Structure 1
Amino acid sequence: MMKSLFIKSLLLAALTSIGATACFARWPEYSGYWVVGNYATRKCEIVTSNPVIDGVVIWFSSGPYKSLDDAKLARTTIRECPPEPAASPASN
């Protein structure tokens, strides 16, 4: 009887561990940076949450990217994104 209870407990612990591992294995898919096309601002913006493409405000999404620099680089390669204005040089 005790051996059976021990085996059931061990099995439950193993299944719980497998479920938790599978859950955390998907976590990187939902973190990072996305480039989104925003109708309201007429710009491509970089956001940190997985966007909902509703066709009204957000009309496209690209990502996730692992870093902000990766997202900025991707934004420059997306045809629908207008180029970012160049920073004005500091006057001396």
Structure 2
Amino acid sequence: MQHSKDNFRHESLQDSKTIQSILKAITKGLAKGELTFNDEDGEIVMHPNGLLNLKVTATQDEFKHRLNIRITWQSEDKTEHKRPLAVNSTDSK
């Protein structure tokens, strides 16, 4: 659908069994430490590691229901390595 070197987006209409299969593939990729997403327009490979942030939101109204699952993490290559925090205290009486 929409792609660039660091961006992949796919949207399609699927039945629940196909979505279950996609979610199972994602869980296997998370366990393995490598997620590959591709379609006819492109591909992206991601390497989740360390602590991952999980955000789940669910909404519903009379006609529309939505479930969003977002998983984010920091890439070790792009993580800024900052000096450890140092705190000094002086007693002044």
State the TM-score, normalizing by the size of structure 2: 0.22
Q: Which has the higher helix share?
A: 1
State the TM-score, normalizing by the size of structure 1: 0.22
Tell me: higher relative CO, structure 1 or 2? Use CA pairs within 8 A at least 6 residues apart. 1
Q: Which has the higher strand share?
A: 2
